[in-house]
Amino acid sequence: MTAPENQNRPAGGNWSRRGVLAGLLGAPVLLMAACSGSSSEKGSGGGGGGGGGSTPKTSVAKITVSPADGVTDAAFGAPVKVTVVDGRLTSVQVADSTGKAIAGQLSADGASWASTDPLSSGTKYTVTAVATDGSKLEADANAAFSTASPANTFVGYFTPEDGSTVGVGMPVSINFNKPVTDRKAVQQAITVVAEPGVEIVGHWFSSTRLDFRPEQYWAKGTKVTLKLRLKDVEGATGVYGTQSKDVNFTVGRSQTSVADLSADTLTVTTDGQVTATYPVIGGAPEHKTWAGKLVISEQHPQTKMDSTTVGLGDEYNIPDVPHAQRLTTSGTFIHGNYWSPASAFGSTNASHGCIALRDVKGAGDPGTNAAKFYASSMTGDVVEVINSGDRTVDPANGLNGWNMAWADWKAGSAV
């Protein structure tokens, strides 16, 4: 239940003389007219003139606020509690430094109130409480405290970037910098929504990686929002999230390609129409290309490729591979090739597992097949490899969760 709004009290010690208090927590409260301070006797029958000799009475109601006034390291996972003895609470307001009210619940007997909204770490709060005793005399309490900041935190690094336009195969992928043990709590704090609407489900690949996708590829033009509400979520014992933000991206045109490595061709389909067919080189028999649906996760006009980084010794070290687009974390790319003879494209599988299109050294010719395919592509496009002779790629190897059946994908959700 939400606490009423703060009263506007005039400066000085007699602010509680105002004759009307806001309704307590949404419920009607019988209010007493007042013409003296909070420690005065209400409704006394004294006349209007001359000096009266009566002594003002003080309310016997005693209010306690927890966390107490001045606390600087209050537990942000615990509620604010307000209690009264020898009286009933008539108003409780809790707000953060921006003025945002914290909702709470009053007990049936009016003796206690507890916040129901969560508190945030590293935040200052103020509490104002009013109670009346059996004689309708008011007592009040004011407190200010700050919550502690967690000593141990985690964050999630997300793909794709905010504001980006991506291909139809782009999942939402979040990699956490620390292992998550309470997967349910963390997943419940993350939502992915799309317009037009579609069911989107999360799948945990490991304690540090959570991906989201729909059952089928996104429809072109879909607008997707990732909502991270991880601040103060306990992902593991004593380890709390810090992020609270939205990430928006748009799905562009629909482009998927099929690399048939028995025919050594790459066929590109854009918005339902075949737009290009290129001769390619696939993986050699001893270094077959992964089969399955592989999503472009990175694009590099030129990049260095060194066989020592993928466990192949000193078989190659090429400092300027042109028009390179990553398909797996383990090192599979679809890229330009200037060192093989033109006759090898469309007729030979001789690579170390990558898919190669004809290119020139320096990546300076926009008319080559590799340059044209690169220019037509974006991250999130799907390259499906068939007839490679190798097994289907591990769904966790890159952004390649599309190689998992929908039922299996949903089985990896924690909610």
CA 64 to chain centre: 37
Pairing of strands 349-351, 333-337: unpaired
pLDDT tier at 55, thresholds 50, 70, 90:
low
In 207-243, the DSSP E strands lie at: 209-213, 223-229, 234-236, 239-241
Q: Is 354 a catalytic residue?
A: yes
What are residue 165's phi and psi, to 5 degrees? -115, 130
H helices of 92-241, in order, are 183-188
* 130 CB burial (10 A radius; 0-12, 13-18, 19+): buried
Q: Which residue in the list 203, 323, 335, 352 is annotated as catalytic? A: 335
Comparing CA positions, the residue from 89, 82, 84, 86 lying closest to residue 68 is 82
- Higher-confidence residue of 17 and 309: namely 309
Give tens-digit pLDDT for 65-115. 999 999 999 999 999 999 999 999 999 999 999 999 999 999 999 999 999
Overall fold of domain 255-397: L,D-transpeptidase catalytic domain-like (2.40.440)
Please check whether residue 337 is in contact with residue 343, taking contact to mean a CB–CB distance below 8 angstroms. Answer: no
> Rounded mean pLDDT of the chain?
89
Rounded to whole angstroms, how far apart are CA atoms 258 and 270? 12
How large a percentage of the chain has pLDDT more than 90?
A: 82
| CA–CA dist 130, 137 (Å, integer) | 10
pLDDT of 327 > 80? The answer is yes
Q: Is the pLDDT of residue 41 over 60?
A: no
pLDDT tens-digit profile of 245-272?
999 999 999 999 999 999 999 999 999 9
Smallest CA-to-CA distance from 154 within 202, 79, 210 is with: 210
Listed in order, the ranges of the chain carrying CATH 2.60.40.3710 are: 153-252
| Rounded Cα distance, 57 and 133, in Å | 12
Strands 273-279 and 153-154, how do they pair? unpaired
CATH 2.60.40.3780 residue ranges in the chain? Answer: 19-31+59-146
Transcribe 258-278 into DSSP letters: EEETTTTEEEEEETTEEEEEE
Averaged pLDDT, 376-389 = 97
2.160.10.10, 2.60.40.3780, 3.40.50.720, 3.50.50.60: which CATH number matches 19-31+59-146?
2.60.40.3780
Contact 274, 363 (CB under 8 A): no
The pLDDT score that the predictor gives to residue 54 is: 65
> Is the pLDDT score of 50 beyond 80?
no
Q: Which entry of 203, 323, 352, 354 is annotated as an active-site residue?
A: 354
* Cross-sheet strand order for the sheet of 234-236: 153-154, 239-241, 234-236
Could you give the residue range(s) of every CATH 2.40.440.10 domain in the chain? 255-397
Concerning whether 35 is annotated as a catalytic residue, the answer is: no
**The overall pTM is greater than 0.95:** no
- Tens of pLDDT, residue by residue over 200-224, are 999 999 999 999 999 999 999 999 9
pLDDT of residue 53: 53
**Which CATH number is associated with domain 153-252?**
2.60.40.3710
